[in-house]
Structure 1
Amino acid sequence: MNSTSFGSDNSGTQVGINHGPITQNYFSSDRKGTPEQNTDNEILESLAFPQMLDRRDNIEPCHTNTCKWILDLEEYQSWRSQAHGLLWIKGKPGAGKSTLMVFLHDKLQISQDDRLGIRLNFFFTARGTEIQRTPLGMLRSLLNQIFNRDPTIRSQIRETYDRRCKQFGYGKRQWEWPQVMLEELLTSAILESANRQHVVVFVDALDEAGATSAQQLAGYFHRLVDRAEKKKLCIQVCISCRHYPIIENGQAIEIKVEDHNQEDIATYIQDKLTKTEAKDSTRQKMREMLVHQLTQQANGVFQWVHIIIPLIE
């Protein structure tokens, strides 16, 4: 990926643009530990940013007895059965893609399947700060996670970090991680980690990175999966996005959320309306008709139901 390929239509961000200086000490005097442990902590801090977890942490969990439909889909089971592959979860705005991504990530997290070694995730948001909607934020977050969870991949990142510190001088650093360097380090780290365990990457709301960046990141993940296939490594990628901008899927598997979430929407409406007691069979029948009508009007958009239900409860 070249130095301009990550540019975002939304933000105008390009490779090399800074998002504030990193000013931690290389070896902080107030930390106890070996020099290597201190360096590792410095690296984690240099990759992290304050809003890194905000979007993921603010997504409400799925409503009771919803989202489970995806586990039985042939497309999902096909992706899960592959050692390597890319799954696209597409849908209208407000269809519940982010909630579904959290459900899948958490489902794998509590799975007893031993082959699931490391799960990485990043949730784009166009409403957040610049770094929350640009590839730079995604790369820093994913590299932070894999560096923290797999000690065996740290040596190359340590060497790169130390080389940068020597170039710019120790003490308080004023340099940024270049985006191209982060891309190369993340690719190497994922491939190296996959030599020993299964790696699954979740990226939510790719479209919110902007059309150009979304296209380029799609290409990045396709190439990553292709390399995994050639090396016979276990790397799976799951990406959610809207239907537009149109992103080339290649050989990836695709699931359209609004084609499958009607029952979930009906369940949500039914549960909300049952808070109002139906005193006789006539009112019960009217409520059933209302559930059906609202489900049809929602047309696969969960967010519409969230807005409408409080108005009629």
Structure 2
Amino acid sequence: MADPLSIAASVAGLVSLADLIVVRLIKYGRAAKNAGSESRRLADEVNLLGGTLSSLSTLADALKDDAFDNKFRMHHIEACNDTLVEIQEALKKYNSDITTKKKAMWPFTVRRVEELIKDLTRHKGTIALALSANSMEAMVQLLADVQAHQAEITAAIKDTTKITSRIHENMERRKVLDYYLEYNPQSNYDMSLHLRHSGTGRWLTRLPEFQHWLTTPNSLLWLKGIPGAGKTVLAGVVIEEALKKSTVTTPSAFFFCDYKNEKTHSIETILRVLRYQLAIQKEEAYTKLEQHYQAHHSSGLPKTPSVPSLSSLLQEMVRLFSHVFLTVDGIDECGTRADEVLETLTAIMETTDNISMALLGRDEDNIRDCLEDVCVPVEIATHKEDISEYVRAQLGDRI
């Protein structure tokens, strides 16, 4: 609580404090390193506030004999005092340097100076309004009312700022993610599910080799077959089973190479898309992706990420999980770049121990040479169980 005498004394004390700060700010403007124009701007605002406080001090002194209800608090005077004391303490910390040969350091950042100037301007406006009072109680009431109103405005601004920040963050996140999603394999996966007849492909999921791949990290599965054997359809089976196993700590990512789309033949595109899928499944993985993005967009024109940097980051992201399923279909459809794709993917397998990777492609010499010593291949051919399921489905439809 405050009485008329203590209010008048408090305001008078603020006038003296403001005058002291102005003098110190002027000294800093001449002697402090990196002060620039910031010290002058801050000094001008404190000086204007000091003049307004001086007028308020005169009014408070004249009204101090008025009857006064001591239930009021001088919230705004206290807030004004807090701002001035913060400036004083910061200047006092480095004040001794000004009188020595050592170059004094300016204690405020540009951002903090802007915030202080806004605070000082707000205090000045409120005090100017209180000068219209014709009694001590009216003066305090005006200050209290403005303080409450400003609190409401500040709360509303904070809420708006949070919403704006969230929108900005979402836009920034979308920009980062879109940079890595050069090709969306979801349509390929949807097509593989559409082409698959109900009940077919179950034989694959019951194979010991497949069950080992599904349950054991650091395992490589190669599904091979002649053109038209149904590798892409079975890729959908593999991805579907992996997705059933997916959890927060066990993500699944996939890619389809398509001979009709040259972009899908690039190991850079494959690595980008696999990383994108991991990033959207864990915040720490997204952070890694964002750091990589910033490193290549920090200044000037954006730099194209190299294959080693893409590969290295994928390994870092993989290590954030306990078990990761990666499925890549159509290795053979990468043409002349198939060797590079195979070498990069198998190298990632060698440097991590928590990936279950499934590769699907024709049994061609270069693919066989790369994979036959590191995995047990599974031959894909027309399976009698699939034929039985297909005939049964057709008969059911016809009946």
* TM-score class normalised by the smaller sequence: 0.5 to 0.7
Are 1:199 and 2:332 matched, yes or no?
no
The answer for the alignment partner of 2:297 in structure 1 is 165
- Structure 2 residue matching 1:110: 3-state secondary structure: helix
In structure 1, distance between residues paired with 2:307 and 2:239 = 26
Q: How many angstroms apart in 2 are the aligned matches of 1:183 and 1:105?
A: 22
Say if 2:312 is the partner of 1:187.
no
- Give the helix-richer structure, 1 or 2: 2
Q: CA deviation at 1:164?
A: 2.1
1:262 and 2:396 are equivalent in the alignment:
no
Q: What is the CA deviation profile of residues 187-224 of structure 1, one whole-angstrom value per residue up to 9, with x for unaligned ones?
A: 2222x223xx21110111111111x4222222222222
* CA 1:272–1:122: 2 relative to 1, 3 Å: same
Q: Which has the larger radius of gyration?
A: 2
Distance 1:208 1:265 in 2: 27
Q: CA RMSD in A?
A: 2.8
Q: Does 1:44 align with 2:166?
A: no
- Equivalences for 1:265-276 in 2 at 5 Å? 265-272=387-394, 275-276=397-398
Identity %: 21
CA deviation after TM superposition for structure 1 residue 246, in Å: 3.5
Q: Which has the higher contact order (CA 8 A, sep 6+)?
A: 1
Query: Partner residue of 2:235?
Result: 101
What letter corresponds to residue 271 of structure 1 in structure 2? A
Q: Deviations over 1:98-125 (max 9, x none)?
A: 11111121123234x8697100000111
- Aligned twin of 2:375: 252
Cα 1:266–1:155, aligned 2, differ >3 Å: closer, same or farther? same
Is 1:243 the equivalent of 2:376?
A: no
Structure 2: stretches of 5+ with no match in the other structure: 1-162
2:265 alignment partner in structure 1: 133
Shift of 1:61: 4.9
Q: Distance in 1 between matches of 2:184 and 2:355?
A: 27
Alignment check: 8 A CA contact 1:121 1:202 kept: yes
Change (3 A) 1:147 1:208: same
Secondary structure of the residue aligned to 1:167 is coil
Q: How does 1:275-286 map to 2 (within 5 A)?
A: 275-276=397-398
Compared CA separation, residues 168 and 53, structure 1 to 2 (3 A) = farther
Residue 222 of structure 1 aligns with which residue? 346
Q: Counterpart of 1:66?
A: 200
The residue type paired with residue 327 of structure 2 is: F
Segments of structure 1 that go 5 or more residues without pairing to the other structure are 1-29, 278-313
Cα distance change of structure 1 residues 103 and 213 upon mapping to structure 2, 3 Å threshold: same
For the residue of structure 2 that corresponds to 1:193, the secondary structure is coil
Residue type of the alignment partner of 1:253: V
> 1:63 offset after TM fit, Å?
1.1
Q: What is the CA distance between 1:131 and its match in structure 2?
A: 1.2
Q: Distance in 2 between matches of 1:54 and 1:43?
A: 22
Residue in structure 2 matched with residue 55 of structure 1 by the alignment? 188
Deviation per CA, 1:199-258: give whole Å up to 9, x if none: 110111111111x422222222222222224xxxx2110111111243121221211011
Does the 8 A contact of 2:180 with 2:276 survive in 1? Answer: yes
User: What is the TM-score when the length of structure 2 is the normalising length?
Assistant: 0.52
Alignment partners' CA distance in 2, 1:75 and 1:116: 23
Q: For residue 149 of structure 1, what is the aligned residue in structure 2?
A: 281
